[in-house]
Structure 1
Amino acid sequence: MSSDPRLFLYYKTAPEANRWLPGDRWIRPLVRRVVRGPRVPSGIDKVYLNLAAGLRKIGVPFQFNRPWHEIRPGDRVGVIGRDRPALAGYDRPNPIVAGVALMTHPSEWPTLCQDYPVARYVQHCQWAIDIYRPYYGDKVCAVWPVGIDTDAWQPASASARTCDFLLYNKIRWNHAAMDRDLVEPIRADLRRAGLTFEEILYGHYRPEDYAAALRRCRAMIFICEHESQGIAYQEALAAGVPVLAWDPGEWLDPARFAWGTPHVAATSVPYFDARCGERFVNHAAFGPALGVFQDRLQAGRYAPRDYIMENLTLERSARRYLKLLNEVASQP
Structure 2
Amino acid sequence: MPLNIFYREPNPDRWLKFDRYPRQLIRRIIRGRPRPGGVMMVALELLKGLDILKIPYRFNDFKYICKHPNELACIIGKPQLLFDKKWKNPILFGAGVFSHPKDCPDLFDKYPNVKKILVPGDWMQQMFEKYYGSKVVTWPVGIDTQKWHQGIKAADKRFDFLIYDKIRWKHNHYNDTLVKPIKDHLSLSGKTFSTIKYGAYTHAELMQKISVSEAVIFLCEHETQGLAYQQILSTNTPILAWDRGGMWQDPSYYPDKVKFEPVSSVPYWDKRCGVKFTDATNFISGLRTFINKQQNLEFAPRDYILKNLSLEVCAQKYVDIALNVIAGLP
Same-fold call, TM cutoff 0.5 = yes
- Judging changes above 3 Å, is the alpha-carbon distance between structure 1 residues 306 and 300 closer, same or farther for their aligned structure 2 residues? same
- Judging changes above 3 Å, is the alpha-carbon distance between structure 1 residues 187 and 256 closer, same or farther for their aligned structure 2 residues? same
**SS, match of residue 95 in structure 2:** coil
128-137 vs 81-90, greater mean Cα deviation: 81-90
- Judging changes above 3 Å, is the alpha-carbon distance between structure 1 residues 35 and 219 closer, same or farther for their aligned structure 2 residues? farther
Which residue of structure 2 aligns with residue 233 of structure 1?
Answer: 229
Which residue of structure 2 aligns with residue 208 of structure 1?
Answer: 204
> Conserved in 1, the CA contact under 8 Å of 2:75 and 2:81?
no
Which residue of structure 2 aligns with residue 305 of structure 1?
Answer: 302
Q: 1:330 aligns with which of 323, 327, 330?
A: 327
Which residue of structure 2 aligns with residue 265 of structure 1?
Answer: 262
- Mapped to 2, the partners of 1:24 and 1:197 lie a distance apart of 47
Q: Please, which runs of 5 or more residues in structure 2 have no aligned partner?
A: none
- Mapped to 1, the partners of 2:17 and 2:325 lie a distance apart of 43
Which residue of structure 1 aligns with residue 91 of structure 2?
Answer: 96
Query: Which amino acid is 2:236 matched to?
Result: G
- Judging changes above 3 Å, is the alpha-carbon distance between structure 1 residues 154 and 261 closer, same or farther for their aligned structure 2 residues? same
Which residue of structure 2 aligns with residue 52 of structure 1?
Answer: 47
> Conserved in 2, the CA contact under 8 Å of 1:40 and 1:207?
no
197-206 vs 72-81, greater mean Cα deviation: 72-81
- Mapped to 2, the partners of 1:328 and 1:70 lie a distance apart of 17
Query: Which amino acid is 2:323 matched to?
Result: N
Are 2:7 and 1:11 aligned?
yes
In the TM superposition, what whole-angstrom CA distance separates every residue of 1:68-96 from its partner, at most 9, and x where no partner exists? 6534255332111112344422332x321
**SS, match of residue 137 in structure 1:** helix
> Conserved in 2, the CA contact under 8 Å of 1:14 and 1:86?
no
How many equivalent residue pairs? 325
In the TM superposition, what whole-angstrom CA distance separates every residue of 1:208-255 from its partner, at most 9, and x where no partner exists? 111111111110000000001000000010000000100111222223
Shift of residue 187, structure 1, vs aligned partner: 1.4
Are 2:293 and 1:296 aligned?
yes
- Mapped to 1, the partners of 2:159 and 2:29 lie a distance apart of 33
In the TM superposition, what whole-angstrom CA distance separates every residue of 1:256-288 from its partner, at most 9, and x where no partner exists? 336643131010000111100001111110111
Identity of aligned residues (%): 36
> Conserved in 2, the CA contact under 8 Å of 1:79 and 1:97?
yes
183-192 vs 163-172, greater mean Cα deviation: 183-192
- Mapped to 1, the partners of 2:285 and 2:29 lie a distance apart of 46
**SS, match of residue 55 in structure 1:** helix
Are 2:173 and 1:151 aligned?
no
> Conserved in 1, the CA contact under 8 Å of 2:71 and 2:90?
no
In the TM superposition, what whole-angstrom CA distance separates every residue of 1:117-164 from its partner, at most 9, and x where no partner exists? 1111011111101111122211x1101111111111111346143221
Query: Which amino acid is 1:60 matched to?
Result: I
Query: Which amino acid is 2:196 matched to?
Result: I
What is the correspondence of 1:2-81 to structure 2 with a 5 Å cutoff?
5-18=1-14, 25-26=20-21, 29-30=24-25, 32-33=27-28, 36-67=31-62, 70-71=65-66, 72-81=68-77
Which residue of structure 2 aligns with residue 122 of structure 1?
Answer: 118
- Mapped to 1, the partners of 2:51 and 2:23 lie a distance apart of 34
- Judging changes above 3 Å, is the alpha-carbon distance between structure 1 residues 319 and 146 closer, same or farther for their aligned structure 2 residues? same
> Conserved in 2, the CA contact under 8 Å of 1:6 and 1:75?
no
98-107 vs 248-257, greater mean Cα deviation: 248-257
What is the root-mean-square deviation of aligned Cα atoms in Å? 2.1
- Mapped to 1, the partners of 2:36 and 2:169 lie a distance apart of 21
Shift of residue 28, structure 1, vs aligned partner: 5.0
Query: Which amino acid is 1:149 matched to?
Result: D
- Mapped to 2, the partners of 1:120 and 1:171 lie a distance apart of 32
> Conserved in 2, the CA contact under 8 Å of 1:13 and 1:83?
no
